[in-house]
């Protein structure tokens, strides 16, 4: 029996900057500027602004896992490049993380408990927003007033 619609090539989903690990080697601290970074890598996936600009570039590749896992997607490449750029537009710091580095990062599992009581400002604000979303024109409130006046 011949199956014509099946392919033996693995499906690869790619997200982000191609060949990020290779390209980041061309970035030189205190020499490369913002324009050169954009020419080489394109726009960053994420930007943030603290004392210096922080630009984050991502490369992620997924493929289907083996048959025993029912074809779920498996990440086989997950690279992240974090660039810090000073006020003059020069690269001050770069950190490159690959999939193995990501496995070593510890994530804190503790959570902060919220202290929202019925008298708190946040509770009052959220309640008023919920009421406005449920009744934006105030029609229900007017009907309640009419019924209470009778």
Structure tokens of 17? Answer: 């900057």
Number of folded domains in the chain? 2
CATH number, residue 22: 3.30.1450
pLDDT in tens, 93-108: 998 888 777 666 666 6
d(CA 143, CA 125): 23
In a domain, 7, yes or no: no
Same-domain check for residues 24 and 65: yes
Could you tell me if 94 and 81 are in contact, meaning their C-beta atoms sit under 8 angstroms apart? yes
Let me know if residue 109 belongs to a domain: no
Which residue pairs from 119-125 have beta carbons closer than 8 angstroms and sit at least 24 positions apart in sequence?
none
Per-residue pLDDT reduced to its tens digit, 33-85: 999 999 999 988 888 876 668 898 988 888 876 665 566 777 778 888 889 99
User: What residue numbers bound the domain in which 127 lies?
Assistant: 116-150
Q: Quick check: is 2 in a domain? A: no
């Amino acid at each position: 029996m011949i199956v014509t619609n099946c392919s033996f090539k693995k499906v690869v989903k790619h997200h982000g900057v191609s060949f990020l690990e290779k390209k980041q080697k061309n970035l030189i601290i205190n020499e490369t500027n913002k324009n050169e970074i954009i020419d080489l890598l394109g726009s960053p996936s994420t930007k943030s602004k603290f004392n210096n600009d922080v630009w984050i570039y991502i490369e992620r590749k997924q493929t289907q896992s083996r048959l025993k896992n029912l074809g779920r997607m498996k990440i086989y490449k997950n690279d992240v490049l974090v660039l810090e750029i000073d006020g003059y537009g020069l690269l001050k710091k770069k950190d490159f993380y690959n999939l193995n580095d990501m496995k070593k990062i510890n994530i804190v599992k503790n959570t902060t408990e919220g202290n929202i009581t019925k008298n708190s400002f946040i509770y009052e604000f959220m309640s008023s927003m919920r009421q406005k979303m449920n009744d934006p024109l105030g029609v229900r409130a007017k009907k309640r007033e009419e019924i209470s006046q009778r």
